[in-house]
Amino acid sequence: MLRINISTQPFRADYTINNAKLNLQTTRPEVQIETTPATVEIRQPQGELTIDQTPCRYSIGLKNIADFVRDNAALGRQTALETIGRIAQEGDQLARTQSKTNAIADISASSAAGKALDITYAHIASPEIHFQANPVQFSPKEGNVDFTPRPGTVQGDYQPGSVDIRITQYPSVEISTVDVKV
C-alpha cells in the first residue's frame, strides 16, 4: 500500500513597526487688557450766608452813624419847633393881662411838672437772613478698556509610521509517497 506523506513549512515573517508620531507644541492664547476707570469729580462750592442785623438793631435803638445823625437832626428840629411853640404860648399867656390869673405861677407850675414816662412794648424785628447756594460742579470722565489679543499657535511635527516586513521562512509543501508492505 502506498502512503502519502505531506509535510508543510509555515510562512514566517519578521515585522519591524515604527508607530506614527505627532509632536505638537502649542503656545497659549493671551489677552492683554488695560482699563482706565471711569471717574467723577464733584465739587460743591460753599454757599454764601448773609445775615443783616440792621432791622433788629434799629428796633432796639442801635443805629449806624449815618442814620443816627439823621434821626438826631430830625429830633433836634422837632424839639426846636416844640420849644418855639411853647415859648410863643407862654408869651401869649403873659400878654393876657386881662385875665386875673398869675401867669408866671402857672408857667412855672407847668414847667416843674414832669412828663409821665411812657413804656412801650414793641416787637424786635428779626434779622434778614439770605443764603445763596452755589451749584454743584460735576465733571464725569469716561472709562476705557483697551485689549490686545494674541492668538495661540500650534506647531506640529508629524512623522508617518512605517511597517517593514521581512520574510524569514517561505512556505512550502512537500508531498511524498512511501510503499508500505503490510
**Model's pTM, two decimal places?**
0.37
Q: Using the predicted structure, report yes or no on whether residue 1 has a pLDDT greater than 90.
A: no
Q: Per-residue pLDDT averaged across 37-54, rounded?
A: 91
- Of the pLDDT bands very low, low, confident and very high (cuts 50, 70, 90), residue 179 is confident
All 3 cell numbers of residue 170?
A: 517561505
The ranges assigned to domains in the chain are 1-43+141-181
Nearest-CA neighbor of 156 among 26, 24, 27, 28? 24
* Measured CA distances, 168 to 10, 15, 28, 93, 143 (Å): 11, 10, 50, 177, 79
pLDDT at 33: 93
Residue-wise pLDDT tens digits, 46-84: 989 999 988 888 888 888 888 889 989 999 999 999 999
All 3 cell numbers of residue 98?
A: 386881662
pLDDT at 176: 87
pLDDT at 78: 95
pLDDT at 80: 95
pLDDT at 111: 75
Among 41-50, 92-101, 123-132, 154-163, the range scoring the smallest mean pLDDT is 92-101
pLDDT at 30: 92
Percent of the chain clearing pLDDT 90 (strictly above): 36
pLDDT at 93: 79
Q: Using the predicted structure, report yes or no on whether residue 120 has a pLDDT greater than 80.
A: no
Rounded Cα distance, 177 and 174, in Å: 10
